[in-house]
Amino acid sequence: MKKIEEYVRSIPDFPEPGIIFRDVTSVLQDADGLQLAIDKMQALIDKDEVDVIAGTESRGFIFGAPIAYNLHKPFVLIRKKGKLPCETISEKYDLEYGSAEIEMHKDAIRPGQRVVIIDDLLATGGTVEACNKLVKQLGGVVAKNVFLIELAGLKGREKLADYDVESVICYEGK
């Protein structure tokens, strides 16, 4: 069986010269790659130290839902503003060019619940930092942030320094 890094397609000079784009769709398009990615991410989670799995829109859903299923834990959606039908809480965060806002249902996390947040990529850390704030707003405890890929050159881990952060693959560049 191939190593998980072998399933990630690297595209040089995208979206601009000097950047190597790490494409997770090549992992998803291969049954062995997808299974390996989910298994490796799940191995970073202690089932007994988590009550809820949360995933960010949209690739956090792809990896988070099967992990929640495998661990027999509830799965919480963290979505872009305006996509959830019930009462929500929200958090704004900065992007490279502008800002965004994410939301979670107000009843998604109960006080004291330990939450693992799943996403495909740790870049600057802004999205998951906002997710962590949402969990804390509801009285939850962020047990861990888990990523398939980390781009260490963008220093997202520094923004998440107060949290337990794990990634399956870490690339040194951007």
Task: List, in sequence order, every residue forming a beta bridge with 79; answer none if it has no partner.
Answer: 103
Q: Which one of the listed residues 16, 87, 96, 172 is annotated catalytic?
A: 96
Task: List, in sequence order, every residue forming a beta bridge with 100; answer none if it has no partner.
Answer: 93
Environment class of 16 (CB within 10 Å of its CB; exposed 0-12, middle 13-18, buried 19+): exposed
| Cα dihedral 101, 102, 103, 108 sign | negative
DSSP 173: -
Q: Which one of the listed residues 22, 59, 79, 114 is annotated catalytic?
A: 59
Does the annotation count 96 as an active-site position?
yes
SS3 at position 47: helix
Does the annotation count 9 as an active-site position?
no
Residue 87 CA to residue 90 CA, distance in Å, equals 10
Task: List, in sequence order, every residue forming a beta bridge with 9; answer none if it has no partner.
Answer: 23
Residue 170 CA to residue 30 CA, distance in Å, equals 20
**Could you give the residue numbers annotated as active site?**
59, 96
